């Protein structure tokens, strides 16, 4: 039998690792980071110093641009 643990690998691959340039805090996304959702953006801030580490358009399947159709 194989000892591979696909569940563990998927879990680690799914979580992006974030790094704060302000205080060198590092942790997986969703692990203690301050998430601030705006109308169409998501800001992820450092829980230690408040630096915005990630500011990205809100990921929503209903908001994504429609693929070009012929």
Taking the C-alpha atoms of residue 26 and residue 37, their distance in angstroms, rounded to an integer, is: 21
**Kind plus residue range of the DSSP H or E element containing 22:** none
Q: Which residue's CB comes closest to Zn ion?
A: 46
Nearest approach in angstroms of CB 3 to Zn ion is: 38
Query: Beta partners for 45?
Result: 34, 52
- Mapping DSSP to helix (H, G, I), strand (E, B) and coil, where does residue 45 land? strand
Nearest approach in angstroms of CB 21 to Zn ion is: 8
Chain contacts with Zn ion (rule: CB under 5 A): 20, 22-23, 25, 46, 48-49, 51
Instruction: Identify which of residues 15 and 52 has a Cβ nearer to Zn ion in the complex.
Output: 52
């Amino acid at each position: 039998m194989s000892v591979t643990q696909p569940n563990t690998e998927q879990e680690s691959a799914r979580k992006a690792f974030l790094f704060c340039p302000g205080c060198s805090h590092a942790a997986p996304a969703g692990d203690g980071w301050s998430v601030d959702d705006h109308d169409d953006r998501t800001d992820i801030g450092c829980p230690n110093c408040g630096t915005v580490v990630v500011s990205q358009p809100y990921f929503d399947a209903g908001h994504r641009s429609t693929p070009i159709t012929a």
